[in-house]
Amino acid sequence: MQDNNIKIPFLVLPIPILEKLYRHFLIIAHLFENTLFANFTLKLQQAKLDANSRKYIAYCVVNDIFAGIIFGGLFGLFSTKAKNLTMPPLMIGILCGIFFFFFMMLQQRAAPEVYIKKRIDSIEQNTLPALQNILIQLRSGIPLFDVLVNVAASDYGEVSKEIMGVVKKINGGIPQVEALERMALENPSSIFRSAIWQMVNGMKTGSNLSDILRDIMNELAEEQLLQVEEYGATLSPLTMFYMIMGVILPAIGVNFLIVIAAFMNLDPAPIQGLFWGVLGMNIMTQMVFINIIRTKRPALLKT
């Protein structure tokens, strides 16, 4: 079956061509699977990338060999025009090709982690509302399976997708406890995984599931408060960084340029260029600061 929807960055070859060639590189893929791509199967499962790990790696090997040959050949060709080289152009091309090969392999190995991070953010911001919904329905006397069906059909992002997987497993004949255990094993969020494990343990011991959910929600509420405090402590040095790099230094720099230009009677053209440069650096500083604030914000607080 052809994986037209497989998500691999830095592909220079189309998927149909990779599909035809990857089988010839499965031995190399096996070597990488035990070294550079160790534990890659679990990462693909947690990222919800429906791809065989060895096939994914074989795709990367085929693509990166081709890309390494192309980029290495171009660098080798350009180096023939240079003078006083310390090594022959052929060696430069080979080294550049090897560099591009491993650079792209490392980026492709890290790709599932990006998807995992996005899934973790969606799961953790929806965990508490989903558990509240489950608790309300259980206290209303609705059976657990029907509760799971309702949550799967609700709009809780990745949490609803996870619960939908559990519902499908249960409909396929797998017991509820086992289906929840499998979901916990494959889930990348430690917060959601801990909540599910507590539910599973309570179901095995015959405890009241409503009481367990209430305790889990109290723990999550405490975790939210802790994350708010940590986030506030992180904002203080970031605010100082912003004040220095985004306000104080640009203001001092502009005033300094104005004074120097006035005393030395400088040509206004380069001074205007410097002003535009300061403005550009200030805009970049603002963007970096906003991005840092966004990435530092805890997942439980994101909306």
Percent of the chain predicted with pLDDT > 70: 95
Angstrom distance (rounded) from CA 239 to CA 251: 17
Residue 116 has pLDDT above 70, yes or no: yes
Sequence spans of domains, the chain: 15-116, 121-219, 229-301
CA 56 to chain CA mean position, Å: 18
How is domain 121-219 classified at the CATH fold level?
Answer: Receptor-associated Protein (1.20.81)
* Residue 147 token pair: 């509760």
Please state, rounded to an integer, the average pLDDT across all residues of the chain.
84
Residue 3 has pLDDT above 90, yes or no: no
pLDDT in tens, 167-182: 999 999 999 999 999 8
| pTM of the predicted model over 0.75 | no
Model confidence at 147, in pLDDT bands (50, 70, 90)?
Answer: very high
Looking at residue 136, its pLDDT comes to 92
Angstrom distance (rounded) from CA 278 to CA 247: 11
Give CA angle at 11 (5, 16), nearest 5°: 55
Residue 47 has pLDDT above 70, yes or no: yes
Model confidence at 221, in pLDDT bands (50, 70, 90)?
Answer: confident
CB 149 within 8 A of CB 168: no
H helical segments located in the chain: 15-21, 26-33, 40-46, 53-79, 89-139, 144-152, 158-171, 176-186, 190-205, 209-242, 249-264, 268-296
Lowest pLDDT segment from 121-135, 261-275, 278-292: 261-275
Residue 86 has pLDDT above 80, yes or no: no
Looking at residue 226, its pLDDT comes to 82
